[in-house]
């Protein structure tokens, strides 16, 4: 589910199952098939080629009103591709305020992105060559975390989360043998304060690798988008600072989407990433993306083409990638 966005028209079906009073459980799912073809204009010509992929998601969600007036909800997702990943969230809500425990289902930096149709520009480009640009740069949201949030704040949600450096990934009672991942936090806002305007901003920090590392990785994002009729345009700024002598980058992304019809969307994207450590000595990485998305009523089809120049701020590291992706929701 990471860095994924289905077409403008939702492709989700639900099945309601019998449950306790004042509760409801829903089961949804999707199967994704992809075909990628890439051409790399560097000495590493072996990276050029074609391939197919598949991913299946099964999601279950439910909620219940408690006697004290609170509402508790639970949802989890099994993501099956080359491995089995689990994503989950348990939420306790009182009015607009909620407390959540989860992984990969809470609003975070990777929820803030310039308008696009389908996959993120770095996802399509990354199928052909390694890029410096990654959506979010820091994704504490993908780790086991605690979160507190408030809905209906200036037309959106304000969320703070903390991911400790030790988690019980092997079960509900297994001990962490060693603390090998750094702890981190994120604070984000995303919403529509006025009609047609969408704003996203946030900051995050993560311990570099383990509890012995003193320098933290810092990241921030700002996004503004505006919709007029069937057209949405926006700009996003993201930066990452590793607090070392290398690995500090800034990215400006621009997105334009057009809903040509109820079931047809077209998206244009452009992202430029600069190496702030090397200054003018390393070229800017540039990704150009065009995507066409079509919804056949439960089956989504995306066709994307990405052109990347000076990938990872390396001169001459150019590549082109074509991706066809179908998503069948049930």
CA distance 289 to 302: 12
Q: What is the pLDDT of residues 117-168, one digit of tens each?
A: 988 898 899 888 888 887 667 888 888 899 999 999 999 999 999 998 755 4
Enumerate domains of the chain plus CATH numbers: 96-169+179-329 (2.40.160.10)
CA distance 165 to 206: 10
pTM score: 0.82
The secondary element (H helix, E strand) that includes residue 269 is: strand 264-275
**DSSP result, 123-156:** HHHTTTS--S--SSS--GGGSSEEEEEEEEETTE
Contact 308, 131 (CB under 8 A): yes
What is the predicted pLDDT for the residue at 80?
86
Q: What is the pLDDT of residues 233-247, one digit of tens each?
A: 999 999 988 877 767
Q: Give the residue ranges of the chain where pLDDT is below 70.
A: 1-23, 42-47, 135-136, 166-181, 208-215, 246, 279-280
**DSSP result, 217-284:** EEEEEEEEEEEETTEEEEEEEEEEE-SSSS--EEEEEEEEEEEEETTEEEEEEEEEEEETTTGGGSPP
CA distance 301 to 306: 17
CA distance 305 to 37: 10
What is the predicted pLDDT for the residue at 74?
93
Q: How many C-beta atoms lie closer than 10 Å to residue 246's C-beta? A: 10
Contact 50, 37 (CB under 8 A): yes
Q: Is 316 exposed, middle or buried (0-12, 13-18, 19+ CB in 10 A)?
A: exposed
What is the predicted pLDDT for the residue at 116?
94
Distances (CA, A) of 155 to 158, 189, 196: 10, 10, 11
- Residue in the block written with tokens 């509890």: 211
What is the predicted pLDDT for the residue at 181?
58
CA distance 135 to 100: 23
């Amino acid at each position: 589910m990471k860095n994924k966005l289905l077409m403008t028209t939702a492709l989700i079906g639900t099945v309601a199952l019998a449950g306790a009073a004042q509760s409801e459980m829903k089961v949804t799912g999707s199967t994704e098939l992809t075909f990628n073809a890439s051409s790399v204009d560097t000495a590493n010509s072996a990276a050029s080629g074609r391939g197919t992929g598949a991913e299946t998601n099964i999601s279950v969600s439910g909620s219940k009103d408690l006697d004290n007036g609170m509402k508790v909800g639970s949802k989890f997702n099994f993501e099956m591709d080359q491995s089995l990943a689990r994503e989950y969230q348990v939420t306790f809500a009182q009015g607009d305020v909620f407390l959540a425990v989860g992984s990969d289902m809470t609003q975070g930096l990777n929820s803030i992105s310039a308008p696009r149709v389908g996959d993120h520009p770095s996802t399509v480009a990354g199928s052909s060559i390694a890029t410096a640009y990654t959506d979010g740069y820091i994704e504490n949201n993908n780790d086991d975390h605690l979160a507190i949030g408030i809905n209906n704040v200036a037309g959106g949600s304000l969320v703070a989360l903390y991911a400790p450096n030790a988690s019980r990934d092997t079960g509900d009672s297994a001990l962490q043998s060693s603390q090998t991942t750094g702890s981190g936090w994120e604070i984000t806002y995303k919403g529509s304060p006025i009609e047609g305007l969408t704003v996203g901003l946030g900051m995050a920090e993560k311990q570099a690798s383990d509890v012995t590392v003193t320098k933290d990785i810092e990241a921030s994002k700002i996004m503004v988008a505006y919709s007029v009729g069937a057209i949405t345009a926006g700009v996003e700024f993201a930066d990452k600072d590793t607090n070392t002598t290398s690995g500090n980058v800034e990215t400006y992304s621009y997105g334009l989407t057009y809903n040509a019809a109820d079931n047809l969307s077209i998206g244009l994207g452009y992202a430029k990433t600069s190496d702030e450590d090397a200054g003018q000595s390393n070229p800017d990485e540039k990704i150009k993306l065009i995507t066409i998305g079509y919804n056949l009523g439960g089956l989504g089809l995306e066709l994307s083409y990405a052109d990347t120049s000076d990938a990872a701020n390396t001169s001459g590291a150019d590549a082109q990638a074509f991706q066809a992706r179908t998503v069948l929701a049930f």
